Structure 1
Amino acid sequence: MALIIPDEIEEDWACKVYNIVDWHTATLVDMLQHRAKVSPTMVLYTLLDADCNSVDHLTSSQLDDRAATIAAGLHHFGKVGDRVLLLCDNDLNYISAFFGCIYAGMIPASGVHIDVMRSDERFEMVANDAQPRLIIGPRKILADYKSEHKNLNCKPVWVPLEVLLNAKDKVAIKGENQGVAFIQYTSGTTKNTRGIELTHRNLIFNLRHQAKSYEYLDEEYSGLSWLPLAHDMGLIGCVLLAIGCGGRCILLPPKYFIEKPIRWLKAMSRYKTSMSGGPTFAYNLCVREVTEEDMQELDLSNWEIALNGADTAQADIMKRFCKKFAPAGFKARHLVFGYGLAEATLTVTRTQRRVSPKFRSFSRNALMAGFAWPSTNKFDRRELISCGSSLEDQSVKIVDPETHTVLRNGRVGEIWISGPSIAKGYFNRPEETEEVFHAKIKGEDRDYLRTGDLGFLLSDNLFFSGRMSNVIVLRGKTYDPDDVSGALEAACSDIRPNATAFFLSDPEDITSITVIIELIKKPQDSYDSIAELVYELITKTYDIWPRMIVLTRPGGVLKTPSGKAQIARTRKALHEDALPIIQKFYYDVPDLPPPLSREEALVEVERWIAQETKDWDEDVKELTREKLVNREMDSELLLNLRRDFEHHFHIQIDPSEFMVACQTYNDLCQLLAGQISAHS
């Protein structure tokens, strides 16, 4: 990267030591121009075909020249500041088009994946939200989309890349460090996709700290990616990181990986790259589909950084991956886990390189109640993996989403983040931007990003435990569908990886759920056997009663381009008979008593306490703080009462909250009643 001395007093020490741009002042134009100047013949990107052969490449000087030419062409159709929608395949055209917009001082909108299911629907959503002045891409792709989408409300100008590359001039506008570099559209897991405005400052800060955390400031970077370029991890974590680190990035189009996962590992073996990764489902596909014969061709000994993003159902899968591919040279200590999201540019936390991952077992019941307590028996166990600690100069807090107060270590709450990586906000959504990007912790003036994700901290390590929007509350207890999905996939090899969905059978019915499960093309067990296994596991392990289990062919669980289940859309498609259903199984839900109201819970608690304390020497109804302090009442008896209450009602109570409540008998009863009522 370019060596740029900032005007500000504060200076990034790495600028002088490693000759990289300072995130306080530089832009992506500075980054690429310097790379082209100092290493003009360096091959930044190599594109592979289905046989993992190299079919195209881009050097740093070629990309700089192509970007400047496209920029000049763009100025014939628009002006600085215009939004431009990228409509390219997962190849080098996407990278050239992206930097062409950056050099033109225009704002590319990234997020349309043209080779995934329902891409037309997503294209219309992004185009109508971004309101681009221009749409650019290869002539054939533009012609196909233009013929199918004649009624866009933005009325853009469609400009083929072939035309832009014929421009005779060259343009390179540096832009402003704190100006918007591009708009990254979200996956749309729970809501319609939204555009995130990322600044040059956001991006270069995140790239600089990614490089440091991977130790690529001290050695050569070589990466391989099959991730979509329209996704933040593929674009920022692979394409931009290669320029930032001054290394090569080999690109395997996503469709080739999905068709045959072995291609990913074959490419890693052939090109001896040191860094690659993806979501847990990618590792799971390799575990399931790579054969013993395939294994003979693999050499994964050069793979030193195997990235995996935050996922709640990953521990068992990642252990199996390590075991299966150990003979091919893969080592568990090369796994690097992290937590991140597009609203925070990309990376928020990372585990250390060359350090074996921290697999920890927690009580499932405790996690559902908001506490990260160790598991004490195999029937109440959920395994999670540390996502590591925060990048430098950023702050990660666990916050009570209702009170906006910070929770102590070991308490489950919403993950809030502050720091230079936090994006400017959502494009053209001021109210959502204010709510999500400018949240305040009680007693602080600093702005925080509300992630909507659940997690907890232990010894500065972040553990991701689920998404607030995905959790299901049944009879006052909270369940994470990802946890259930992971258990089902581990128990039945006929279930496709990352292909289950859970939701309330009826919004008014809080006692049962509907389960949708995609099966592999040729299941070994009968449909009846699969449904029976699913039903037994869910009812016995989780005490959940399905009203319906739906088995479908591939495509039954609608997903975002990055592979996350879209629950609301899947539920809607089921009701509209729009899913590829194989068979439905219906069940009677036991006639369970309705959840207790607060008043009913209070009566139940007082009755239970009276029974449990009838042999005490002290009258618990006369409990006061003074009696506890003066030891006129045995605090050990109260602690035993808490333990017995947890065992009897199958819940967990924070010990400190319990002791605070033990100031009066009424406070104690109110606390316990709140744990077992419907509105706790």
Structure 2
Amino acid sequence: MQTSVLATSAPAAGTVEAQLLRVPTPSESPHLPVRLADFPTITAALDYAARGETGFNFYDARGTLATALPYRELRDQAVVMAGRLAGAGVHPGDRVALLAATGPDFLVMFFGCLYGAIIPVPLPLPTAFGRRENYVDQIRGQIKSSGARLVIGAQEFVPIVTEASTGLDLILVGTRADLNAAPERSDGVRPGGTDMLAYIQYSSGSTRFPTGVCVTHANLMANGRSMCRDGLKLRAGDRAVSWLPFFHDMGLVGFMLAPLVSQATVDYLATEDFARRPLTWLKLLSENGGTVSYAPSFGYELCARRVSTRGEGARGLDLSRWRVAGIGGEMIKPQVMLQFADAFRPHGFSDKAFCASYGLAECVLAATFAELGAGMTIDHVAKDALAQDHRAVPIAADAGDRARVFVACGKVVAEHQMEIRGPDGAVLGERQVGRVFFHGPSVMQGYFNDPDATAEALNNGWLDTGDLGYWIADELVIVGRAKDMLIINGRNIWPQDIEWTVEHMDGLRSGDSAAIVLTAEDGGDRPTILVQCRPTDAADRTRLMTEVRARVMEAVGVACEVVLVPPRSLPKTSSGKLARGKAKTLFMSGELTALEQP
């Protein structure tokens, strides 16, 4: 059965629900003691939070409150939904795929699943993908991989999801409102236990062979304690603000589940609204007294760039209460962060609020946190020693192109261990670059129904993160993904070095380039940089290619072939990061075509 109906109508004027639309939830519940992730299950945490006044608030692109959802309302609606899911024929342990739009419906569905011991599977939205066929391929793979019985999303997305699920054995493809027609079974409310699977999280880069991370209630609580109690040191009155999508671990865990298990209020701006009006993020922090918010480097860059061209948009901002300006989700660009700090210092922002961290979905979210209130620890290391000897040798800050610049991501979270290992598995010492391994109660149970991928990632409880890093004393520094490293003439070249060099050129932006290695006609390596090109004049294109080639040679000593491609053609993951490997695949297959070369 695959049906859908229109969403339910708005609440009648004068009702409690209508009033909630106009009044955001407060930053604290004075009569409810704060508990930081010390619950056996996520549903037990929501039962407790529902005794207070805090909750989730949803704002439009201009920063106007659209809907407020106190935890008590969320719990009541989720319990009803658990009964509806049972009435629709969904059983404990079944999977339900949910299009993770930033709104109350997703949350009610997610927690409705948990109250029925059903496994929610958040899916990305079509807006996270540039091409319809790419989206259809990705979510079809995730629906099929998870064995989902239902797919639920907003009415506007039902047609494309129906296309993606053609031929799959599903009870329903539709909306939350469709489930209101199902009978509500009282025996549908039977929350899962501590060691039961809570949800399946697909990584943002999962495409052709999707791998779903299995997270139990115990995994989530262990990571929640590490984040809320030890990393962020949350306290009564803290208020979070987020534009991060719910289908990404930073959005789902960092700014939905973690605040819930610590009874904190969150103010949400949809990701697509942030992209159009990035300063609304800062407006919400300012007007609502936000104290904790995270973004990848590109989010801060977008705000700094916007205020440089539209300074009036920052008028009246007060960012002095923002005590944790977290950075994560991609390689940290220190220069971008410093530009943001300079731009918003007149509005009360302190660069001491920057908090770098590192994590991944396979350990729920957080693996390391920098010390709060200390700002960024920036490390300049010799590029040659890093490439040739796998050592992070300190070098002067004014070394220019002879240096690589990193930001330390802090110390390992409490109750967990981390090792950096060499190719032979030996544990490495300080400033030696190797593969990062992680161990502790946050580590996933495995990949859903994928024993081969699980065996490759886990060994005796240790998670192979696939990232390369080194220690500065007891702080971790990440240098990149092992699979992304380019080996050219025996040298290790990091694609980010090439890309960042190109993107600092006039007229180019973050995400405008992808460094890859192709195979030359003689079988050798052919270093290549794909560059999104906006100029249409042949002379301007020739000049761009010449400048890119020269800058790359000067910065990293590599003669690259420069290929100009159309604007907005380089693929990104659902969380907005460059999909470098996919760019190479598309270019080699001819799906990503070069512009006419001058």
Alignment TM class, shorter chain as reference: 0.7 to 0.9
Say which SS state the counterpart of residue 501 (structure 2) adopts: helix
Aligned-residue offset at 1:19: 4.2
Task: From the superposition, tell whether residues 447 and 203 of structure 1 become closer, same or farther in structure 2 (CA, over 3 Å).
Answer: same
Aligned-residue offset at 1:349: 0.2
Structure 1 residue 149 corresponds to structure 2 residue 164: yes
Residues 554-569 of structure 1: pairs in structure 2 closer than 5 A: 554=568, 556-569=569-582
Partner of 1:336 in structure 2?
355
Partner of 1:531 in structure 2?
545
Does the 8 Å CA contact 1:496/1:518 hold for their aligned counterparts? no
Say which SS state the counterpart of residue 469 (structure 1) adopts: helix
Pairwise CA RMSD of aligned residues?
2.4
Task: From the superposition, tell whether residues 396 and 575 of structure 1 become closer, same or farther in structure 2 (CA, over 3 Å).
Answer: same
Partner of 1:496 in structure 2?
509
Deviations 1:561-604 (A, max 9, x none): 0122222321232234433754546xxxxxxxxxxxxxxxxxxx
Partner of 2:375 in structure 1?
356
Match of 2:588 among 575, 591, 603: 575
> For 2:124 and 2:362, how far apart are their aligned partners in 1?
17
Partner of 1:607 in structure 2?
none
Does the 8 Å CA contact 1:277/1:308 hold for their aligned counterparts? yes
Identity %: 25
Match of 1:101 among 109, 113, 132: 113
> For 1:228 and 1:143, how far apart are their aligned partners in 2?
21
Structure 1 residue 391 corresponds to structure 2 residue 413: yes
Structure 1 residue 122 corresponds to structure 2 residue 133: no
Does the 8 Å CA contact 1:181/1:200 hold for their aligned counterparts? yes
Deviations 1:193-231 (A, max 9, x none): 310000100101111221113454433221111111111
Say which SS state the counterpart of residue 325 (structure 1) adopts: helix
Structure 1 residue 482 corresponds to structure 2 residue 463: no
Task: From the superposition, tell whether residues 163 and 201 of structure 1 become closer, same or farther in structure 2 (CA, over 3 Å).
Answer: same
Partner of 2:16 in structure 1?
none
Matched AA of 1:187: S
Matched AA of 1:82: D
Task: From the superposition, tell whether residues 498 and 192 of structure 1 become closer, same or farther in structure 2 (CA, over 3 Å).
Answer: farther
> For 1:141 and 1:205, how far apart are their aligned partners in 2?
35
Aligned-residue offset at 1:311: 4.1
Structure 1 residue 468 corresponds to structure 2 residue 487: no
Does the 8 Å CA contact 2:35/2:263 hold for their aligned counterparts? no
> For 2:262 and 2:536, how far apart are their aligned partners in 1?
45
Matched AA of 2:324: I
Does the 8 Å CA contact 2:37/2:262 hold for their aligned counterparts? no
Aligned-residue offset at 1:522: 10
Structure 1 residue 278 corresponds to structure 2 residue 298: no
Does the 8 Å CA contact 1:221/1:245 hold for their aligned counterparts? no
Partner of 1:673 in structure 2?
none
Structure 1 residue 54 corresponds to structure 2 residue 65: yes
Deviations 1:420-441 (A, max 9, x none): 1101010111011112022xxx
Matched AA of 1:347: A
Match of 2:82 among 61, 71, 76: 71
5+ residue gaps, structure 1, are 1-16, 439-445, 586-680
TM-score by length of 2: 0.87
Task: From the superposition, tell whether residues 521 and 428 of structure 1 become closer, same or farther in structure 2 (CA, over 3 Å).
Answer: farther
Structure 1 residue 540 corresponds to structure 2 residue 557: no
Aligned-residue offset at 1:50: 1.5
Deviations 1:324-355 (A, max 9, x none): 21111111100000000000100000001111
Matched AA of 2:393: W
Matched AA of 1:456: Y
> For 1:154 and 1:480, how far apart are their aligned partners in 2?
44
Match of 1:517 among 506, 524, 531: 531
Match of 1:29 among 25, 28, 43: 43
Deviations 1:626-663 (A, max 9, x none): xxxxxxxxxxxxxxxxxxxxxxxxxxxxxxxxxxxxxx
Partner of 1:371 in structure 2?
391
Aligned-residue offset at 1:143: 4.4
> For 1:462 and 1:550, how far apart are their aligned partners in 2?
36
Aligned-residue offset at 1:520: 6.2
> For 1:306 and 1:188, how far apart are their aligned partners in 2?
25
Match of 1:426 among 438, 447, 452: 447
Say which SS state the counterpart of residue 437 (structure 2) adopts: strand
Aligned-residue offset at 1:499: 3.1
Structure 1 residue 408 corresponds to structure 2 residue 422: no
Say which SS state the counterpart of residue 425 (structure 1) adopts: coil
Say which SS state the counterpart of residue 463 (structure 1) adopts: strand
Does the 8 Å CA contact 1:551/1:584 hold for their aligned counterparts? no
Higher gyration radius (CA): 1
> For 2:412 and 2:585, how far apart are their aligned partners in 1?
38
> For 2:535 and 2:316, how far apart are their aligned partners in 1?
26
Aligned-residue offset at 1:544: 1.1
Task: From the superposition, tell whether residues 104 and 480 of structure 1 become closer, same or farther in structure 2 (CA, over 3 Å).
Answer: same
